[in-house]
């Protein structure tokens, strides 16, 4: 049974850093692209970052470029999102997602599984 379990969210001050993890079970993560969406209170859910199965391609939303770094460890079936220089507007629930193939998604139809979400709050 395919499952994504997230960890590492929390409360951080503006300018601080957090790393959220997504551990996959029930399947071999190495065959699939993985990434994160986020949804702020009252907002829509949008793509933040993605990394292809072989790590040869990464995508970042313009709002996080230069501050967030996505990575993966296929041997551990786990992906990570390192978030630096956090801003209050980064406050959201972050959802780990896995695609149906090796490439990052173009549309949400290509996503096969969602994690439970990890709350990130950036506030002083």
* pLDDT tens-digit map of 53-66: 999 999 999 999 99
Pairing between β-strand 118-122 and β-strand 10-12 as defined by DSSP bridges: parallel
pLDDT level of residue 15 (50, 70, 90 thresholds): very high
* pLDDT tens-digit map of 17-47: 999 999 999 999 999 999 999 999 999 999 9
The answer to whether 9 touches 18, Cβ cutoff 8 Å, is yes
Nearest Cα to 94, choosing from 40, 44, 50?
40
The answer to whether 57 touches 5, Cβ cutoff 8 Å, is no
Distance CA 81, CA 58 (A): 12
The answer to whether 31 touches 99, Cβ cutoff 8 Å, is no
Residue 49 has pLDDT above 90, yes or no: yes
Task: Enumerate residues 6+ apart whose C-beta is below 8 A from 54.
Answer: 102
């Amino acid at each position: 049974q395919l499952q994504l379990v997230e960890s590492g969210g929390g409360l951080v001050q503006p300018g601080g850093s957090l790393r959220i993890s997504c551990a996959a079970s029930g399947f071999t993560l190495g065959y699939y692209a993985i990434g994160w969406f986020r949804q702020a209170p009252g907002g829509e859910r949008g793509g933040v970052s993605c990394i292809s199965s072989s790590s040869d391609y990464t995508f970042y939303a313009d709002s996080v470029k230069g501050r967030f770094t996505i990575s993966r460890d296929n041997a551990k079936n786990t992906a990570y999102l390192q978030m630096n220089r956090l801003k209050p507007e980064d406050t959201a629930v972050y959802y780990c997602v896995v695609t149906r193939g090796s490439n990052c998604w173009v549309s949400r139809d290509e996503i096969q599984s969602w994690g439970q979400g990890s709350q990130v709050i950036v506030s002083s």
